[in-house]
Amino acid sequence: MPLPLLALMLGVFCVGTAEVVIAGILPDMAADLDVSIPTTGLLVTGYALGVTIGGPIITLLTTKWSRKPLLLGLMGLFVVGNVVAALAPNYALLMSARVFTSLSHGTFAAVAWYVAAVMSPPDKQATAMAKIALGFNFANVLGVPIGTFIGQQFGWRATFVSITGAALVCALLIQKFVPGDLATQQPNGEKEAPLREQLKVFRKGTVQLSMLITVLAQGAVFTTSTYLAPLMLDVAHFAAPMVGVLLIVFGVGSVLGNILGGKAADNNVMRGVLRALSALLGALVLFWAASPYQIPAAVVLFLFGAAGFSIIPALQARILVVASAAPALALSANVSAFNLGNGLGAWLGGTTIDLGLGVRSVTLTAALATAVALALSLLMWNHVRRTAAEGTPELGAQPEAAPR
């Protein structure tokens, strides 16, 4: 991996770990702060809401900033928030620190993807964005287990100290390796449009449809992934100690899927989206069929991880195409769409179980959401083919080869 992309990926690893590491140290935090476990769990919700709402706002306010100073400033904000979290004497201040920290998340991830695209040739932009997205994969596969171990051995505050240290190292790498002359250049080499013109891209039907597809697709992933433990325990009948191993299997699949999803979207973004969603739909149906049987369930869990994370670079590359007049802002808004999908998926899965359909049925609920996302993508694909044939692409859209 080129060193500039490695620096950016490590930054995404830091913000991704900060978002989800609470899960591993939740009981220790609840006991130390003298609050209930559900109340402590709201620290994750508060962070997610900060990402969803704050990300596009911060991106909008910093749209004219040169990219390297912006990345360093956001990492500085992230460091301050985690220092305050590590020192917080009570729950209220800790929640405030979490929300403050989250304000850096969406914009940092969006600008990291944006910079990766700017530094890459047109036929390698999706792969470059996939390399940045690996940070989120590693946050789940490595960040959470390591953060949990540190918290259990040295106290939950040490987890935030370690995240702060990693973020400082990342800032040094960004300072050293990320080019400083990116300014407000677009991935196609042109200058970004004025702010008023950038906001207009959200009126485009293809932009709105792309973000809806993101919500549905990510929602499908979280409808199932939120309930992987009961699926493996109660349906596949694995022993409890095996859950950790199975989550590693899922994580390894997610890393592979992220890479393959980027490669699939390099030459034709729309085709990459369709392939990723088709793979996700197939994996979910297979998951429902194989979940009662241990070895097939483990194999399909790997495939589900691969298919579920292949959608991230494909969908981010797609939003970069349809909103090329406002790439950083659109990527940030799409990060919010991913977070909305996380919440939607957890709710859909829980509702499926509450209706008495059983935990196994969450895979079919997820498959239904994926089918809707795939149908909408096919509509968009037909639109791309039609406008390409007519030679009248939407205003602000990058040229895109008609899908073959």
pLDDT category, 384, cuts 50, 70, 90?
A: low
Residue with tokens 């400033």: 73
Write the CA distances from 251 to 167, 198, 309, 351, 395, integer angstroms.
23, 36, 10, 25, 39
pLDDT of 53 strictly over 50: yes
User: 185: how many CB neighbours lie within 10 A of its CB?
Assistant: 18
Q: 6 or 245, which is more confident? A: 6
pLDDT of residue 266: 81
Residue among 273, 305, 222 nearest 376 (CA): 273
pLDDT of 404 strictly over 60: no
Write the CA distances from 117 to 60, 121, 320, integer angstroms.
19, 8, 9
Could you tell me what percent of the chain has a pLDDT over 90?
A: 38
76-95 pLDDT tens trace: 999 999 999 999 999 999 99
DSSP string covering 276-308, please? HHHHHHHHHHHHHHHTTSHHHHHHHHHHHHHHH
Question: Mean pLDDT across the chain, nearest whole number?
Answer: 85
Specify which residues 185 forms β-bridges with: 191
State whether the Cα torsion 265-185-341-221 is positive or negative. positive
pLDDT category, 401, cuts 50, 70, 90?
A: very low
Q: What does the buried/exposed string (b/e) look like for 211-240 if buried means 16 or more CB atoms within 10 Å of the residue's CB?
A: bebbbbbbbbbbbbbbbbebbbbebbebee
Distance (Å, rounded) from C-alpha 143 to C-alpha 75? 17
Residue among 187, 185, 168 nearest 176 (CA): 168
Distance (Å, rounded) from C-alpha 89 to C-alpha 97? 11
- 213, 311 Cβ separation under 8 angstroms: no
Tell me the average pLDDT across 44-69: 85
Write the CA distances from 218 to 102, 118, 195, 257, integer angstroms.
20, 25, 29, 14
- 109, 125 Cβ separation under 8 angstroms: no
pLDDT category, 243, cuts 50, 70, 90?
A: confident
Residue among 266, 281, 357, 354 nearest 318 (CA): 266
Distance (Å, rounded) from C-alpha 156 to C-alpha 24? 9
pLDDT category, 400, cuts 50, 70, 90?
A: very low
Q: What does the buried/exposed string (b/e) look like for 266-302 if buried means 16 or more CB atoms within 10 Å of the residue's CB?
A: bebbbbbbbbbbebbbbbbbbbbebbeeeeebbebbb
Question: Which range is least confidently modeled, 57-71, 152-166, 191-205, 335-349?
Answer: 191-205
Q: Which helix (H) or strand (E) holds 371?
A: helix 362-390
Residues 6+ apart with CB under 8 A from 212: 337, 376
Question: Which range is least confidently modeled, 189-203, 241-255, 316-330?
Answer: 189-203
Q: Which domains does the chain have, with CATH numbers?
A: 3-192 (1.20.1250.20), 197-390 (1.20.1250.20)
Tell me the average pLDDT across 183-211: 70
pLDDT of residue 391: 55
Residue among 113, 118, 114, 107 nearest 73 (CA): 107
Write the CA distances from 372 to 182, 265, 359, integer angstroms.
38, 20, 21
Residues 6+ apart with CB under 8 A from 373: 213, 216, 217, 220, 277
Tell me the average pLDDT across 206-231: 88
